Amino acid sequence: MYDFTPRADAPKSEIYRDLNEAAAALVAGEVDSVANMANIAALIWQFLPDLNWAGFYRVVEDELVLGPFIGKPACIRIPFGRGVCGTAAQSGETQLVADVHAFPGHIACDAASASELVVPVIAEGRVIAVIDLDSPTKGRFDAEDQAGIEALAAAIMGSILG
């Protein structure tokens, strides 16, 4: 029904522009947060090469709980401050980790993961979720990926509330 086919050789700026436009179109008018997170995870997976996990952890009371994702089954609950995701949730700041094995407390859900990008989704001044991307390639993510996913988080924030 929705066929988003990014060009394999497109520059990152183009990929993120198209990803963010597609995400805005998919969530427009839909209030169900699970459906929206599921579609956004699928879009990220379609648009970004070289990932082995892409999805959401939601803030539920005082911890992170697994949300919609693509990839291998993952840890369900992550306390604030633990691992890359818990650090992003606690600090409210993006964590761009070139080598997960060098990150103290990294939680290995998939042994294939080598680098990770975790972006907090902030609504009304508080972290409501994180977007987590894992790659089997060390140093897969750069500042352009960070800016692209931060823009995505800001754009879809209102559609994953509740």
Which residue of the chain is nearest ligand SME when measured via CB? 83
Looking at residue 18, the DSSP 8-state letter turns out to be H
Q: Give the binding-site size for ligand SME (rule: CB under 6 A).
A: 15
Contacts 24+ apart (CB under 8 A), 32-38: 33/159, 33/160, 33/161, 33/162, 34/67, 34/68, 36/156, 36/159, 36/160, 37/67, 37/68, 37/129, 37/160, 38/68
Min. distance of Cβ 14 from ligand SME in angstroms? 27
- C-beta of 23 vs 133, nearer to ligand SME: 133
The two tokens of residue 59 are 């803030």
Q: Is 156 in the site for ligand SME (CB under 6 A)?
A: no
What is the helix (H) or strand (E) element at residue 37, kind and residue range? helix 33-47
Min. distance of Cβ 55 from ligand SME in angstroms? 7
- C-beta of 75 vs 155, nearer to ligand SME: 75
Three-state secondary structure call for residue 110? coil
Q: Is 134 in the site for ligand SME (CB under 6 A)?
A: yes
Applying CB under 6 A, the residues found at the interface with ligand SME are: 53, 74-75, 78, 83-86, 106-107, 109, 113, 116, 132, 134
